[in-house]
Amino acid sequence: MLLYESLEKHQQEQCQYQMKICRGCQKNILKKDLDQHEQNCGEIKIECQRCKLVYKQKEKHEQLDCLMNMLNRSNKKIESLEKLVNNLQQSVQKLEATIDVHFLRGLPSSVVHDVPLSSLNPSWNIIYDFPYSHGTTVEELRALRSQCKKHIIVGAIQGNSSMILKIAAMGPSEILSLDSPLNQPTKFGNVHWYLTQNKSFGFAPSSTTINCNLADYNEKDNAENRLSWHLHGKGGYRAGSVISLDGKNEWRKIIMTEKH
């Protein structure tokens, strides 16, 4: 016999004849029988503490199964890490490309002016430095390719002691291997490049056309953004708007590349 005030507590905590729901099969089972029922219920789910596999109580989970599941989980983690590494590599490549394009204090890959050599990344090195009076040849340019990494800077400096590129542009080192038909340049970035045997080597903005007889003589369209060197055994020809530099020693032809 229970006192009325004890009845509620008895029903909630002590009564063995109240109905409980099995965690596996979801059947209503007397509280007094629940532990025994759940020990035998095949629908009860168990998580392996080693491999974290969740399986039903009636299913076998032997040591070999556990090891195989751990191996599968490890393989999936490896695949996930490989994808992550691949994504990181692609991101690094994009970042490197962005850095390459913005090598001059963040300027785009286009014709630039008045760039101090000291403002360039220290990895850039001069590999060709001759006065405009020097007769540049195709063979000279081809030979430079072996000294180059990914990119080159081609430009002109005014003054024997000056360290400022009056005009310059950057492009891939394959520019030195071009074999351009006359007035048919190749576009890299925002620049048209050409290397026409026995004619000339140089660049101009990609928004313009090249007008070469021997060198690019265009005087009207973007004249200040054109560079052209003779390749027929004589010096010259132009650095921006300054032309007829065939015999001039105060202007220098410059080619730079990244250090190996």
144 touches 130 (CB < 8 A): no
pLDDT tens string 29-67: 888 888 888 788 878 887 887 777 777 776 777 776 777
pLDDT tens string 23-36: 888 888 888 888 88
Q: In the chain, pLDDT over 70 holds for what percent of residues?
A: 88
Give the pLDDT score at 105.
44
